[in-house]
């Protein structure tokens, strides 16, 4: 009988504890548990600033330029032409691999431009031209077509890769453009590679400056006879490198980098670091990088105007680029060109000079490298 009574008491106690537990549990606030997979994916999307509709098989494309001007085959040795073609291919393939492996258009643009900045062949980074004071002052810009965020730098003398500085301004500051010493301080504080200004010295660029000084000419001279004997002098105002790309996420980006104009004075800044002139990207339309006589590209707002014509008039990228380069800017007296990609991956090279160093690749791996107006 005692055992039965004891079992009854234990049963009552157990039942009471369970009920109290339910009451306590019901009074506690509910905390919803996030799916670890969902949380990680969201963080990756935020970190990479990507659209979540990633498609492994989506189309992508990339175009680059290394400057436009009086580039004639008769003035180019076979060895020098091969050198240019090899470096253009190296640069375009660097950006292509980023896109192929699922990287962003911003990264592809940055990496492709880095290759050209590190080469003495082009007027950007290592190959930058000299100012009247015999220094090298570099400009660059980059723009994200998804967010319309942008970054630029102007007049720097010791940042090895100006496009990296432009990217840092966009990503790590509340500003769009920094210039001169302030930009250099910002670059150093953000861990970018700083070099002695002598790094940018090349005999070719320095000698071109001396020839201009000796003849009391400036880079605005259009003496065709002089250009025949030294095309470097004639063409240094066109020297710029740039890239436009569409990635698998459907995002566009563009970037441009330059050493500016040989014999420039008074802190002159051209179109390369000006958003809307030298660089523009908008996912609704296209991404554009310019090269040419900067003053005219600024006055005509070339890169943005191409996008605006597509958006407001509904014309194709090819039509818009042709109208802006040959008619709008051309009628002002401007010379140069652009490379561009639209939101569907269509690529365009458009220029009104006798040549433009350029290359392109699409998602199928089709490579095109060209230099002259007629290849």
Residue 84: what pLDDT? 96
171 CB burial (10 A radius; 0-12, 13-18, 19+): middle
pLDDT given at position 33: 39
Task: Measure the CA dihedral 103/253/357/214, to 10°.
Answer: -120
The region that residue 329 occupies, defined by phi over 0 for left and psi between -120 and 50 for alpha, beta otherwise, is alpha
The answer to whether the beta carbons of residues 154 and 179 sit under 8 Å apart is: yes
Average pLDDT over the chain, rounded to an integer: 85
The tokens of 362 are what?
A: 């699409």
Tell me if residue 174 falls in helix, strand or coil: coil
Confidence category of residue 151, pLDDT binned at 50, 70, 90: very high
Question: Which range is least confidently modeled, 184-193, 209-218, 301-310?
Answer: 209-218
DSSP 75: G
Q: DSSP letter at 159? A: B
Chain-centroid distance of CA 283 in Å reads 14
Nearest-CA neighbor of 191 among 165, 227, 228?
Answer: 165
Task: Report the residue count for the chain.
Answer: 375
Alpha carbons 297 and 295: distance in angstroms, whole number: 6
Contact of 264 with 218, CB cutoff 8 Å: no
Instruction: Report the pLDDT averaged over residues 309-334.
Output: 96
Q: Report the alpha-carbon distance of residue 97 to residue 247 in Å, rounded.
A: 11
pLDDT at 216: 55
Q: Is the pTM of this model over 0.75?
A: yes
Confidence of residue 128 (pLDDT cuts 50, 70, 90): very high
To the query of whether residue 240 is one of the catalytic residues in this protein, the response is yes
Q: Alpha-carbon dihedral of residues 290, 291, 292, 296, nearest 10 degrees?
A: 20
Give the DSSP letter of residue 285.
S
What pLDDT score was predicted for residue 53? 59
Pick the catalytic residue: 131, 156, 240, 285? 240
pLDDT digits 0-9 by tens, 190-207: 999 999 999 999 999 999
With a CB cutoff of 8 Å and minimum separation 6, the contacts of 114 are 94, 161, 163, 164
């Amino acid at each position: 009988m005692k055992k039965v009574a004891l079992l009854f008491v234990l049963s009552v106690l157990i039942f009471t504890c369970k009920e109290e537990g339910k009451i306590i549990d019901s009074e506690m606030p509910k905390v919803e548990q996030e799916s670890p997979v969902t949380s990680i994916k969201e963080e990756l999307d935020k970190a990479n600033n990507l659209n979540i509709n990633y498609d492994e098989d989506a189309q992508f494309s990339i175009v680059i330029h290394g400057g436009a001007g009086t580039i004639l085959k008769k003035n180019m040795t076979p060895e020098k032409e091969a050198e240019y073609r090899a470096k253009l291919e190296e640069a375009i393939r660097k950006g292509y691999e980023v896109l192929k492996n699922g990287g962003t258009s911003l990264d592809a643009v940055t990496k492709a431009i880095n290759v050209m900045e590190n080469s003495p062949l082009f007027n950007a980074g290592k190959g930058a031209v000299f100012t009247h004071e015999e220094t090298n002052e570099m400009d660059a810009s980059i723009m994200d077509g998804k967010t319309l965020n942008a970054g630029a730098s102007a007049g720097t003398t010791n940042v090895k890769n100006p496009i990296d500085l432009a990217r840092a301004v966009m990503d790590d500051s509340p500003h769009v453009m920094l210039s001169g010493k302030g930009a250099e301080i910002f670059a150093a504080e953000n861990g970018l590679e700083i070099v002695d200004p002598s790094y940018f010295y090349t005999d070719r660029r320095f000698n071109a400056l001396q020839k201009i000084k000796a003849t009391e000419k400036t880079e605005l001279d259009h003496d065709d006879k002089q250009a025949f004997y030294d095309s470097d002098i004639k063409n240094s105002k066109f020297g710029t490198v740039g890239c436009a790309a569409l990635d698998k996420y459907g995002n566009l980006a563009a970037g441009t980098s330059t050493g500016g104009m040989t014999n420039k004075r008074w802190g002159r800044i051209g179109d390369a670091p000006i958003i809307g002139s030298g660089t523009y990207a908008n996912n609704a339309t296209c991404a554009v990088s310019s090269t040419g006589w900067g003053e005219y590209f600024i006055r005509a707002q070339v890169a943005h105007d191409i996008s605006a014509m597509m958006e407001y008039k509904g014309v194709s990228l090819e039509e818009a680029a042709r109208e802006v380069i040959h008619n709008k800017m051309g009628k002002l007296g401007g010379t140069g060109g652009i490379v561009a990609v639209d939101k569907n991956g269509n690529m365009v090279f458009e220029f009104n000079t006798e040549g433009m160093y350029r290359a392109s690749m699409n998602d199928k791996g089709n490579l095109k490298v060209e230099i002259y107006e007629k290849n």
